[in-house]
A and B are shown apart, each in its own frame.
Chain A
Amino acid sequence: MKRSQHLLAVAGLALAVWAMSYGFYYAVWIEHQTLDHIGGSLAGAFQHAALRETAASHASLDDYARAKYVYTREVDAHSHWIGLAMILMVLAALWDRLSFGEGVRGMLALVLIAGAYGFPLGVLIQNYVGSGVGQGIAVAASGLMIVAFGLVAVGFARER
């Protein structure tokens, strides 16, 4: 078993454990309150409109949009971390079949790991440091993942 292969397996399972721990924490301490907030602000927007309180209605709608934006990214980070963790693990099992030398395999493993950890992180930090920085990280990391995965597919296709 090569070093890059073991690295992928350990990094993949560690990412899965991290993603599930994050999901557990989120489900217990954040999700229910967030969903109540989203539902409450949307209902509030229409109730204010019914009372012809336009400014308050708009404020509630903005609150709803912001809460839903944050919620979407929190859930997306969890689901993408776990999904990418599983892809790292399955690639680890297939790694021997890649028709590249250990140097290229090691580089590909590092790129895949950086993408798998970085893409959901980029999605999540859009909630905290502004969408531009987060989007930049997410786009760069997903680009790395796609290129590396494409190369992996080529490596499998060239299997001897």
Chain B
Amino acid sequence: MGGDALRAGPPLHGVMVTASGTSNGARAAAAFPRPGARRLLVLGGLALFLGGTILGDVFAIFILHPNADRIGQALAAATAAVRQHRAEDAGQSFAAIGGFLENRGTKVDAHSHMIGFGYLAMLLAILYPWVRLSETTSRRLAAMLITGGVVLPVGVFAIHYVGLAYSPLESIGWASIVADAAGLLVVIACAGFLAGLWRQWRSGETPAEDALLRERSWAGRVLMAGGTLLILAGFLHGAWYAGVDLYAQEKQERDLLGAMADSAALDPGPGVIPERAGTALNAYGMLQADHAVKIAAHSHMIEFGLIGLLAGFFQPFVFLSEAWKRRWAVVLLLGSVTLPVAVLLELRYGLLAGGFADAGGALVITALAGMLAGVLRFTGQLDAASEPVGAGGRA
């Protein structure tokens, strides 16, 4: 499918499916059939990415910072308990810290897995013409992937709340079991698509030309160029972090925790927390914050680079005017740069930078919602115009 008339947006009505089925619209309907695997992968993938990004923004605003404060307070309480010879209280403080970390970790995992599965679905939609499977099998695999992609993050999210209630296992609760089963569904679905890709390679046949792989519009090119640069920046930042900070921070963390425990146990003086322990406690908090912002900036640069590239591919399916497609492309890239840069500046500028980071995330969400609306309009137009042709698709 594709063609200039389609990419222009509104004139779509005029080029839809004809009886002969030879127009751009006919090719569009064939490439993007109503109940088809490819449409399921595109819409499911975009929805998963959008859901994951919204979850991440809500988590960052309402949970991340209060949770970090509670961890700091519990660590201070543990240090005070050491000072006062109360070993049991120290243990209880760490049990509380474990709960706070689980609360944080499961939400980060739900957020990142939802986004990751969204990427996978969209990538498989792009590679779809190279997958030699029947439409029925592809549709089942796509449904399996999207189902697993939704259930796994929901299961992971629920781990903190469900705990080990009624679990048949010693250390794994029902929410984990459900999440793991959903992960297995995704693995099976991807293995199925891999088998299809392998069969196509072995067959030596050339697949039909595909609109997604021929995208050359302004919005598509800007998104792909911006995405490539963001990924490269993420690579370089990650390499710099691993070389300069990672090992030093791991050693520093052990030393600071040791200083807290030793000082509370051995330093003379009347305070609840001795000065050296207090200094180590503050430094530990700063170290955790520094680690968190650098990892977040690294991963978000690469994630947003990937979504930029993927969104670039899907521009032929975005049924909006060229002006709006350009606006959403620019908004997406603006948010994609703003969020990681602002996250890196959070340690220096605090809430101001945090606000900019959240605004960057909101820009990405808004742009993707705009594009998703365009894809939904596109599919609606296809369905309305292609009724006589039927769902069609691949053999």
Known contacts: A50-B86, A54-B266. The answer to whether A93 contacts B228 by CB under 8 A is no
Choice from A42, A54, A142 contacting B94 with Cβ under 8 Å: A42
The residues of B that contact A72 with a CB separation of less than 8 Å are: 250
Query: Complex formed: what's the CA distance from A57 to B97 in Å?
Result: 18
Per-position binary interface string of chain A over residues 11-36, scored 1 when its CB falls under 8 Å from any chain B CB and 0 otherwise: 00110110011011001100011001
A160 nearest CB across to chain B (Å) = 12
B162 proximal to A (CB < 8 A): no
Query: Complex formed: what's the CA distance from A48 to B243 in Å?
Result: 34
Using CB atoms, name the residue of chain A closest to B302.
Answer: A83
Q: How large is the interface on B (under 10, 10 to 19, 20 to 34, 35 or more residues)?
A: 35 or more
B5 proximal to A (CB < 8 A): no
A10 proximal to B (CB < 8 A): yes
Which 4 pairs, one residue from A and one from B, show the smallest C-beta to C-beta distance?
A43-B94, A49-B261, A50-B87, A65-B254
A114 proximal to B (CB < 8 A): no
A149 nearest CB across to chain B (Å) = 6
Q: Are B127 and A156 in contact (CB under 8 A)?
A: no
Per-position binary interface string of chain B over residues 220-238, scored 1 when its CB falls under 8 Å from any chain A CB and 0 otherwise: 0000110011011001101
Which of B53-61, B182-190, B323-331 sits within the interface? Answer: B182-190
Using CB atoms, name the residue of chain A closest to B214.
Answer: A96
The residues of A that contact B29 with a CB separation of less than 8 Å are: none
Query: Complex formed: what's the CA distance from A152 to B228 in Å?
Result: 9
Q: Are B258 and A23 in contact (CB under 8 A)?
A: no
Choice from A6, A42, A52 contacting B130 with Cβ under 8 Å: A6
Q: Are B302 and A46 in contact (CB under 8 A)?
A: no
B135 proximal to A (CB < 8 A): no
B309 proximal to A (CB < 8 A): yes
Q: Are A24 and B306 in contact (CB under 8 A)?
A: no
The residues of B that contact A52 with a CB separation of less than 8 Å are: 85, 265-266
Q: Are A86 and B306 in contact (CB under 8 A)?
A: yes
Query: Complex formed: what's the CA distance from A14 to B191 in Å?
Result: 8
The residues of B that contact A109 with a CB separation of less than 8 Å are: none
A113 proximal to B (CB < 8 A): no
The residues of B that contact A24 with a CB separation of less than 8 Å are: 180, 183-184, 187
A107 nearest CB across to chain B (Å) = 19
Query: Complex formed: what's the CA distance from A117 to B239 in Å?
Result: 16
Q: Are A87 and B306 in contact (CB under 8 A)?
A: yes
A152 nearest CB across to chain B (Å) = 7
B85, B176, B225, B258 interface centre (most CB from chain A within 10 Å) = B258
Query: Complex formed: what's the CA distance from A11 to B117 in Å?
Result: 18
The residues of B that contact A83 with a CB separation of less than 8 Å are: 302
User: Which label, helix, strand, loop or mixed, suits the secondary structure of the A interface?
Assistant: helix
Per-position binary interface string of chain A over residues 104-120, scored 1 when its CB falls under 8 Å from any chain B CB and 0 otherwise: 00000000000000000
Choice from B85, B97, B213 contacting A96 with Cβ under 8 Å: B213
Query: Complex formed: what's the CA distance from A94 to B312 in Å?
Result: 11
Q: Are A49 and B172 in contact (CB under 8 A)?
A: no
The residues of A that contact B119 with a CB separation of less than 8 Å are: 86
Q: Are A153 and B229 in contact (CB under 8 A)?
A: yes
Q: Are A146 and B190 in contact (CB under 8 A)?
A: no
Which of B63-71, B193-201, B386-394 sits within the interface? Answer: B193-201
The residues of B that contact A57 with a CB separation of less than 8 Å are: 261-262, 265
The residues of B that contact A65 with a CB separation of less than 8 Å are: 250, 253-254
The residues of A that contact B266 with a CB separation of less than 8 Å are: 52, 54
B279 nearest CB across to chain A (Å) = 17
Q: Are B258 and A61 in contact (CB under 8 A)?
A: yes
Query: Complex formed: what's the CA distance from A28 to B178 in Å?
Result: 11
B116 proximal to A (CB < 8 A): yes
Q: Are A28 and B172 in contact (CB under 8 A)?
A: yes
The residues of A that contact B261 with a CB separation of less than 8 Å are: 45-46, 49, 57, 61
A148 nearest CB across to chain B (Å) = 10
Query: Complex formed: what's the CA distance from A150 to B191 in Å?
Result: 30
**12 further A-B pairs in the complex, CB-CB below 8 A; given A48-B87, A50-B81, A57-B265:** A16-B120, A24-B184, A28-B172, A46-B90, A47-B90, A47-B91, A49-B261, A54-B266, A68-B253, A94-B309, A142-B242, A157-B225
The residues of B that contact A153 with a CB separation of less than 8 Å are: 228-229, 232
B85 nearest CB across to chain A (Å) = 6
Choice from A17, A64, A69, A146 contacting B257 with Cβ under 8 Å: A64
